[in-house]
Amino acid sequence: MKQIGMDKKIEKKKWSQKKLYYIAGAAFFILVSFFVLKTLNRKIYKVDGAKISVKEVIEGDFQDMILIDGDIEPINLVLVNTLEGGTVDEIFIEDGIMIEKGTPLLRLSNPAVTLGYMNQETAIIEQINNLRNLRLSLEKEQRNLAETLIDSENKLAEVERSFKVDSVLFSKDVIARNDFVDMKESYKYQQKKRDFMNKNVRKSEVDNKIQIQQINQSIGMMQRNLNLIHDNIEKMLVRAPVSGMLSSFDPVIGESYMRNQTVAKIDVQAGFKIKGQVDEYYLSSVKPGQLARFSFDGNLIELKVKKVLPEVVNRRFEVELIFVDKAPKDITIGQSVQVRLELSKAQKSLMIPRGSYFQSSGGQYVYVLRDNGEASKRYIKLGSQNPSYYQVLEGLSEGDKFISSSYDDFKNYETIKIKSKN
């Protein structure tokens, strides 16, 4: 019989020489990297003591505050705007002086607007004259009716006297019956005529009175419209709305202004405020009532936040601060000051002075000095900050000394050897 199957020899695959080179190279790179890192960790960077700055960790009253650049402004500033558009025709006053309410500042010229007002004025005056003529006509009619009534009453009185005489004569058979009857009929006619005229005059008097009242109301309304037109024409003359110090007033003859365009500002001399710009980062931290200070002529002047304007423009928002006490005598509008705004009350805390080390380490670590002339990297945790200090939350103790100058040259080293300044 034939052997159906037989065992096969399994050959082991050998790695190629190229693959072995790759593996060896990778292992060598890992080994070298590990060696370099260990060497760097053990390596000490030497720095000249004269080229570094050293500060000390202190404990004191820490207060979270920020610096604000502000400008002195009047606390009550009134804008002077044009009421009509036009070109400057006359200038009556100069900038920078005290003025009274109603003082003319400038006159604008706008022929199209003026012509429109004049046409309206002419039309209204014509309507007023027509209504006045109608009123005169009604009044004349009323007088004529009254005169007619008087004539009728006089005629009735004459006929009445004649009738009484004829009645006596007829009773004595002095006059004929026909003459008496004619006189009696004439008397009755004059009575009816007088009664009719009296009723007609009274009704006409009531009707004319109502109509004249309506005419007077219409004339009054048109007169008010005429006054408004006169006021609109007067709007071409720009006047001071309040008394105070005139500023930002620099018009030029022939210069054009639109309606409601600002031509000047008036400081009503009610005091001063400071308007400052704050980074949007602090928008949720700045509140009305917070205190602030700035130095002026060697004195510390106290302020408080009056208003926070939350609209952010170019990553900044505005605050208005007012003086707690009276403003310094020599302070002037437009003057720039640097204000320290207090965001919190003072509290006991560890603090380290600000320095260029922060830009190098991001506030994550500092190099703390040891007694052997070395400084070692120590990781820390900082809290709030103010223009002078950072608040220390973890990693440092009072009295620790650290390098406060830049770490850019040695930030990859764990230990720094400080060479003597001598």
DSSP secondary structure string for all residues of 166-212:
HHHHHHTT-S-HHHHHHHHHHHHHHHHHHHHHHHHHHHHHHHHHHHH
Residue 40: is its pLDDT beyond 70?
no
Residue 250 contacts residue 95 (beta carbons within 8 Å): yes
Q: Which of 100-104, 114-118, 241-245, 394-398 has the lowest mean pLDDT?
A: 114-118
Sign of CA dihedral 153, 154, 155, 161: positive
Mean confidence (pLDDT) of the chain: 86
Q: Summarize the confidence of residues 203-222 as an average pLDDT.
A: 87
C-beta separation of 418 from 52 below 8 A: yes
What angle do helix axes 177-234 and 111-171 make, rounded to 10 degrees? Answer: 170
Sequence spans of domains, the chain: 38-63+347-419, 65-75+271-342, 78-109+236-265, 112-234
Q: Which of 105, 106, 111, 109 is nearest to 87 (CA)?
A: 109
* Single-letter amino acid code for the residue at 185: E
Closest CA to 167 of 158, 177, 155, 157: 177
Instruction: Give the C-alpha separation, 226 to 132, whole Å.
Output: 15
Give the residue ranges of DSSP H helices in 235-269: none
Highest CATH level, class, for 38-63+347-419: mainly beta
Does the pLDDT at position 212 exceed 50?
yes
Assign 3 a pLDDT band (cuts: 50, 70, 90).
very low
pLDDT at 16 over 70: no
Weakest mean pLDDT among 107-116, 255-264, 365-374:
107-116
**Could you tell me which residues come within 8 angstroms of residue 398 by beta carbon, excluding any fewer than 6 positions away?**
57, 58, 59, 350
Write down the pTM of the prediction: 0.51
Q: Is the pLDDT of residue 104 over 90?
A: yes
46 contacts 419 by C-beta, under 8 angstroms: yes
- Whole-angstrom Cα distance, residue 308 to residue 341? 13
pLDDT surpasses 80 at 211 = yes
**pLDDT per position as a tens digit, 283-324:** 999 999 999 999 998 889 999 999 999 999 999 999 999 999
Higher pLDDT, 100 or 232: 100
Contact 229, 124 (CB under 8 A): yes
Query: How do residues 109-124 score in pLDDT, each as one tens digit?
Result: 888 777 888 888 888 8
Q: Are 293 and 281 in contact (CB under 8 A)?
A: no
Closest CA to 309 of 324, 299, 319: 319
Give me 23's structure tokens: 């593996």
CATH number for the region 65-75+271-342 comes to 2.40.30.170
The CATH number of the domain covering residues in 78-109+236-265? 2.40.50.100
Banded pLDDT at 35 (limits 50, 70, 90) = low
- Between CA 284 and CA 279 the distance in angstroms is 11
What local confidence, expressed as pLDDT, does residue 301 receive?
92
Tell me the pLDDT band of 141, cut-offs 50, 70 and 90: confident
**pLDDT of the residue at 266:** 92
